[in-house]
Structure 1
Amino acid sequence: MIRNFLTSFQLFSSAEINELVKMMKPKKLQKGDFFIQEGKTCKEVAFINTGILRTFFRAETGVETTYCITFPGALMTAYASFITGKPTIENIQALAPTDLLLIQKRDLDYLSATNPNWSQFLRIIAEQQYLELEKRVFQFQQEKAKKRYLDLLENQSTYVQQIPLQYLASYLGITPRHLSRLRNEISL
């Protein structure tokens, strides 16, 4: 899956892809395990082969807010910590058994310093992250919860049923009760 992901950018030769793949290490997370927890510094990027990760933060009240859910075929990291080298304020947790491929920041820095294709790739990834963040902000400002839920169903229907109700509701910015009503309304 990682080879197809990298090939889709149309930047790399098979030798360049092989170089990266050799640097990656597999990691398995069980449901509930953390990729990273708040207070720790993130020094790696994960490619999700299988499973689902949720990113959340805890308010001072202890309430968790899920603001990102990431599915197979995508990269994941605690981005601010990864860039700055400072401890993260977020948590990234497996919602299902998850298989990851990890690459260390130092290895990405090496690739980027020695090959302009990797620098371009990292720039594209950063741009995609920005666009996803902007899209999410606009969704919350312009769309109703039902539309956000329908969009998620359209794009990730295979996985939505695996996400516990409270996390999915938090991600959509609604209560679990409201989400239950939406689900009933849509299934009619």
Structure 2
Amino acid sequence: MKKQLYSKENLAAYLRAFEILTETDIDAFLRLVEPSHLKKGDFLIKEGEVSNYIAYIQSGIFRSFYHSSEEEEVTFCFTFQNQIITAYTSWISQEVSRENIQALSKTDLFVISKENANLLEEEYPNWVKFFKHIAEQEYINLEKRVYLLQRETAEVRYQDLIKNYPEYFRSIPLHYLASYLGVTQRHLSRIRKNIVF
């Protein structure tokens, strides 16, 4: 019981940090979220499904991937503790997702349904601003990801991951990391040997 209360306190602190929501807005949200737990390897969403939930990651790591035309898995994103996650395009459009979101570790989440999120927006206008802000941040992150992939070397992309998420990247399996960086595992091994921590 204490762990759940502590978790909701973390979630409330996360929401306050945006300086968009009032305490009334946050309390309304906390009444609607539900705890959820996924085991390593479980999926938050699979391609072909509609994203009807958005989640706050209390603990754990996720990877987002799609299948190439050759049916190979291409990892394009990692999402970590104290972040919000969903298949955003599907969440916004309510069309089927093209991406898969898979837990790379045991994860603890708080989730809210699309239906309840819509109710929040209707009753508390600040939630419209908040979800708009989150969508904008997702777009900015996607643009940065495209920039890194197209303009920078794999070494720079690897160092960027180390710099921004040093406490997590060692938990990511090497074949997923190589896919994310757009290199072979052999190339990734050479990169790792040349970078001193």
Q: CA deviation at 1:14?
A: 2.0
Which of 121, 145, 150 lines up with 2:130 in the alignment?
Answer: 121
Q: Which residue of 2 aligns with 1:42?
A: 51
Q: Which residue of 2 aligns with 1:156?
A: 165
Q: CA deviation at 1:59?
A: 2.1
Q: Which residue of 2 aligns with 1:133?
A: 142
- Counting matched residue pairs gives 188
Q: What value does the CA root-mean-square deviation take over the aligned residues? A: 1.2
- Aligned positions of 1:48-127 closer than 5 A: 48-127=57-136
Moved more, 77-86 or 62-71: 77-86
Which of 22, 29, 38 lines up with 1:13 in the alignment?
Answer: 22
Q: Which residue of 2 aligns with 1:185?
A: 194
Does the CA-based 8 Å contact 2:178-2:185 persist in structure 1?
yes
Q: TM-score, normalised by structure 2?
A: 0.92
Q: Which residue of 1 aligns with 2:177?
A: 168
- Structure 2 SS opposite 1:157: coil
Q: CA deviation at 1:13?
A: 2.1
Q: Provide the rounded CA distance (Å) in 1 between the counterparts of 2:56 and 2:48.
A: 22
Structure 1 runs of 4+ with >6 Å offset: none
Residue identity in the other structure for 1:101: F
Q: Provide the rounded CA distance (Å) in 2 between the counterparts of 1:9 and 1:21.
A: 16
Q: CA deviation at 1:21?
A: 1.1
Q: Provide the rounded CA distance (Å) in 2 between the counterparts of 1:186 and 1:139.
A: 18
Structure 1 gaps of 5+ residues are none
Does the CA-based 8 Å contact 2:64-2:99 persist in structure 1?
yes
Q: CA deviation at 1:95?
A: 0.4
Moved more, 10-19 or 145-154: 10-19
Q: Which residue of 1 aligns with 2:152?
A: 143
Q: Which residue of 2 aligns with 1:3?
A: 12
Q: Provide the rounded CA distance (Å) in 2 between the counterparts of 1:41 and 1:175.
A: 32
- Structure 2 SS opposite 1:187: coil
Structure 2 gaps of 5+ residues are 1-9
% identical aligned pairs: 43
Moved more, 49-58 or 133-142: 133-142
Q: Provide the rounded CA distance (Å) in 2 between the counterparts of 1:113 and 1:15.
A: 14
Q: CA deviation at 1:187?
A: 3.0
Q: Provide the rounded CA distance (Å) in 2 between the counterparts of 1:180 and 1:23.
A: 45
Q: CA deviation at 1:124?
A: 0.7
- Structure 2 SS opposite 1:150: helix
Q: CA deviation at 1:69?
A: 0.5
1:139-160 per-residue CA deviation (whole Å, 9 max, x = no partner) reads 1122111111111101101110
Q: CA deviation at 1:5?
A: 1.2
Does the CA-based 8 Å contact 2:65-2:100 persist in structure 1?
yes
Q: TM-score, normalised by structure 1?
A: 0.96
Moved more, 14-23 or 41-50: 14-23
